[in-house]
Amino acid sequence: MSRNRILATCIVGWAALFLTGPVLAQSGPTAPPSEPMVFATEEQEASYQQLVRELRCTVCQNQNLIESNAPLAADLRRQISVMIKDGAQTDEVVEYMVARYGDFVLFRPPKNATTYLLWYGPGALMIIGLTLLGLILWRRRSQVTTDPLSVEEQQRLRRLLDDDEKGSS
C-alpha cells in the first residue's frame, strides 16, 4: 500500500463528508395541498412553502405538513397560511407551533444540550472512523520494510523459487 493510496482514501472520505450536506436541503415532494393557497406576495408564498416542508405532522409522524393527508395537517396548513397572510414571519410561525407541539414538530431541531449528540454525533463518528482507518493503514505500511535483501536472504529466495518451479512443472 503506497502512501498515495492512503492519502487518496482519506481524501475521498473527507470529501464525501462535506459534499453530501447541501444536496439534501432542496429534496422533498412537491405535491400541492388539497386546497389552493393564494398569497399576496411571492415572499409569503415562499415562506409558506418552506414552513409546510419543515414542520412535522404530529399525527403521521414521518411526514411533513404538506405530505400528510391527516385532518390536523390540513388545519395546520390553513392556520399557517392565515398567519403568513397576516404578516407573520417564518420564525413567529415556528414559535407558534413549538409552543403547542414541542420541538418534535421541527424536522431541524434546535441546537441545544439535548441535541448536540443528534447534530454532531454522525459527523464525530465519521471523523473517528476515518482517523482510525488512516492510522491503521499508516501503521500497516510502516511495518513493511523496504531494506534490500541480504546475501543469505537472496540465496534462500532463489532456492524457494526454484523449488516452486520444479514443483509446478
Partner 1 sequence: MKLRFVLPLVAFFALVGLLWVGLSLDPRALPSPLIGREAPSFDLPELRDPETRFTSAEMLGKPALFNVWASWCVTCRQEHPMLAELRRSGVPVYGLNYKDTRSDALRFLARFGDPYDAIGFDESGMVGIDWGVYATPETFLMDRHGMIRFKHIGMITPDIIEQKILPLYRQLEMES
Give the binding site for partner 1 (CB under 8 A).
58-59, 61, 71-72, 75-76, 79, 98-104
Three-state DSSP at 63 gives coil
* Shortest distance (Å) from residue 114 CB to partner 1: 11
Burial, 105: exposed, middle or buried (Cβ in 10 Å; 0-12, 13-18, 19+)?
buried
Smallest gap from Cβ 72 to partner 1, in A, equals 6
Long-range contacts for 118-122 (Cβ within 8 Å, ≥24 apart)? none
Q: Which is nearer to partner 1, 42 or 86 (CB)?
A: 86
Give the whole-angstrom CA distance, residue 6 versus residue 121. 25
Whole-number Å distance between alpha carbons of 154 and 168? 21
**Which residue lies nearer to partner 1 by CB, 71 or 167?**
71
Closer Cβ to partner 1, 95 or 162, answer by number: 95
Cα(80)–Cα(94) distance, integer angstroms: 9
Closest to partner 1 by CB, 36 or 71: 71
Smallest distance from the beta carbon of 35 to partner 1, in angstroms? 14
Nearest approach in angstroms of CB 37 to partner 1 is: 18
Terminal-residue alpha carbon distance, the chain: 32
